[in-house]
Each structure stands twice: as C-alpha cells, then as structure tokens.
C-alpha cells in the first residue's frame, strides 16, 4: 500500500509539472493577448482608487468611470504624442548613431594602444557591442508603439474593469451563498497590489522627470524619450536604473564625448539611488515580501515570457503567484520559499469558505 501511495503521489507531481509546462507554453504563444490584458489591469489598478473615491462622494458609477477614463485618455494622448515623435526621430537617426559609435570605439582602441594597452577592436565591437545595445533600445521602443496601436482595445477593457470593480465582491459573496462573507487575506492582497502599483508609478514619474531634466541640462538629444524610458525601467527593481542609463550614456558618447557619457551614467545612478533608497521607503513604507533572489529570477522569467511588460510587472505578478500558492495547502511551502526571510512566519490556517454556515 505504501508503494502504491508513493507511486500515486509521484504521478501527481509529474502531472502537475506537465500542466505547468503546458500553461507556460500557452502563455508564451498567446503573448500579445496576455500583454494587452496585463496592461489593461495595470491601468485599471491605477484608476480604481479614483473611481472608488468619486463613488464615495455619491457620484454614479458610470459618471465616475467616465471622468477617470477622460483624464487617463488625455494623459496618454499628451504623453504619447511627445514620445511618438521622439521614437520616430530616434529610429531615423539610429544607423548614423551606430556608425558613430563604431568610429569612436576604434578611436578609443587606438588611444589605448598608444598608451601601451593592446585591446582588440573585436573586443569592443563584438563582445561589448554598443551598437547592438542601441538596436535593442530601438526594438524595445518599437514594442511599446505596437502596444499603443491597440490602445482603443486596452481602454475599452479598462473601462469595463472599472465598471465591475465595486460589484466583484458582491458576486463572490453570491457564489459562496453568504452575503456577509469577508475575505481578509484576499482584501489585504488587493490593497497591497494597488498600493504598490500606485505609489511605484508616482515614484517612477519622479525619476522620469529628474532624468529628463538631467538630460536637458547636459544637452543630450531626446531628453523626454530618456525620461520616459527611465520611468518604465524603474519598475524593474534593483537593475532598472542601470539598464536605462546605458543607452542614454551611449547617446551622449556619440553626440558629445566620453565625459558627457560619464556624467549621464553618474546622474542616472544617483537618481536611481535617491529614488530607491530615500523616496521609495518614505512613500511605500512596506517591504515587498519577496526575497532578493526571487526578485531577480522573477525578472528573468516574466521578462523572457512576456517581454518588456513582463519585466515591468514582474513584482506584482510574482506577488500574485505567491498569494495563490499560499492559499493552497499543498503549495503553501512554495509560497513561503518565495517570501523574504525577515517576513517568514507561520501562515494562518486556510478557511474553506464553502463550509461556513450562517446561523
């Protein structure tokens, strides 16, 4: 009997792993649809507090959603017009920039050779390959443009999510047959996600404005574009500030020279340090509840699975996954492993809501 039980348990684990592989492959194949849905949820999370605030002041749901969507559309159009122009100009100048990078790299190689440091030109052009970095930046920006091309579908999805946001708990209670049922853990999870996304967006906006101002002071081309890129990439924890600094420094290197590139790098790193270690702790106040290793692995996993949007939303996606794992008795240990050591504590028992009776 023990052998049979062990065999059944092993088969269950294998079936679970096979199902997980199939789900991941399906998400990868349906990447465009999943990305649009995630962008819609992201915008809905940003708009939901405003809708609920308006409804608390007895403004009808339809009017509240209309006001929030009108503000959101206006902001997107204003920002999109500026970014779209910069992206087109950047793409047009990309071949010339790549050629100038090669020429200046050859000059650096010659300069080092004159000083007695023999460095092969292939080391710079093939291994470091700064031209490829600018090409990747252009591809990244083109990917954002493709998302904006489906803007109408995204906005419609956001509108319907916001219309349903207040009735969702009522529907769940109706399914459970208990109009007084509360969901403390789920409510805390939703509040934490909204708190993180809202304040993280505000923090990133501050970082983007600071980067734009620094690029403008240094006289670097496309300062708004680099500020917008910084706004997006600061969603990526720990390394986002470094990633957004590299293409901006290469632009400064081709336009002005090495000293300007070093100033761009220094400015981006200082801004990233101030935002991440001074502003963010004051506004966010709470830890993510994820270990550092999990943060990095989630960045690699979601980024490879869903592209830039996956990298930007890697933290809320991993937090959602952690919550789902902790909500199941058989997978709670995985949720604990994903958490931070400082926050590790015995989890409360899972309550089966379907067995709760109302006297």
List the chain pLDDT tens, one digit each, 359 residues. 555 555 655 566 677 677 778 888 887 787 778 888 888 888 888 888 888 888 888 888 888 889 999 998 888 888 777 777 777 777 777 777 777 777 777 777 776 666 666 666 665 555 556 666 666 676 666 666 666 667 788 888 888 888 887 666 666 666 666 556 666 666 777 777 777 888 888 888 888 999 999 999 988 888 888 888 888 888 877 777 888 888 888 888 888 878 888 899 999 889 888 887 777 777 665 555 677 778 788 888 888 888 778 888 888 888 888 877 777 777 777 777 777 655 555 555 554 444 444 33
CB 259 within 8 A of CB 253: no
Domain layout of the chain by residue ranges: 1-168
Q: What is the dihedral of CA 14, 18, 23, 24, to 10 degrees?
A: 100
Q: What is the pLDDT of residue 137?
A: 73
What's the pTM value of the predicted model, to 2 decimals?
A: 0.74
Q: What is the pLDDT of residue 42?
A: 85
H runs (alpha helix) in the chain: 2-29, 31-56, 61-114, 121-122, 130-149, 151-164, 168-176, 184-218, 223-233, 240-255, 258-274, 280-284, 292-312, 314-326, 332-338
């Amino acid at each position: 009997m023990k052998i049979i039980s062990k065999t059944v348990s092993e088969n269950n684990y294998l079936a679970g792993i096979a199902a997980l592989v199939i789900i991941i492959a399906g998400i990868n194949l349906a990447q465009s649809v999943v990305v649009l849905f995630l962008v819609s949820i992201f915008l809905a999370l940003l708009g939901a507090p405003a809708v609920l605030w308006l409804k608390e002041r007895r403004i009808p749901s339809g009017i509240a959603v209309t006001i929030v969507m009108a503000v959101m559309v206006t902001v997107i159009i204003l920002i999109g017009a500026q970014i779209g122009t910069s992206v087109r100009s950047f793409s047009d100048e990309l071949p010339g920039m790549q050629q100038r990078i090669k020429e200046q790299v050859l000059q650096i190689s010659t300069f080092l050779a004159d000083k007695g440091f023999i460095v092969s030109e292939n080391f710079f052009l093939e291994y470091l390959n700064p031209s490829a970095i600018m090409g990747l930046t252009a591809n990244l920006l083109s990917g954002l443009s493709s998302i904006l091309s489906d803007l109408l579908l995204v906005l419609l999805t956001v509108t319907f999510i916001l219309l349903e946001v207040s009735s969702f708990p009522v529907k769940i209670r109706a399914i459970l047959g208990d109009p007084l049922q509360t969901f403390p853990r789920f409510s805390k999870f939703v509040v934490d996600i909204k708190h993180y996304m809202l304040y993280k967006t505000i923090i990133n906006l501050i970082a983007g404005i600071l980067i734009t101002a620094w690029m403008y002071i240094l006289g670097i081309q496309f300062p708004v574009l680099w500020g917008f890129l910084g706004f997006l990439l600061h969603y990526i924890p720990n390394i986002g500030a470094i990633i957004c600094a590299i293409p901006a420094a290469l632009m400064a290197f081709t336009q002005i020279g090495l000293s300007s590139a070093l100033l761009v790098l220094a400015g981006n790193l200082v801004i990233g340090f101030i935002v991440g270690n001074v502003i963010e702790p004051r506004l966010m106040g709470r830890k993510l509840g994820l270990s550092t290793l999990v943060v990095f692995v989630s960045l690699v996993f979601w980024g490879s699975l869903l592209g830039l949007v996956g990298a930007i939303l890697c933290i809320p996606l991993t937090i959602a996954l952690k919550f789902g794992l902790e909500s199941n008795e058989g997978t709670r240990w995985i949720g604990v492993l994903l958490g931070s050591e400082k926050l590790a504590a015995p989890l409360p028992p899972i309550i089966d809501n379907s067995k709760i009776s109302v006297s």
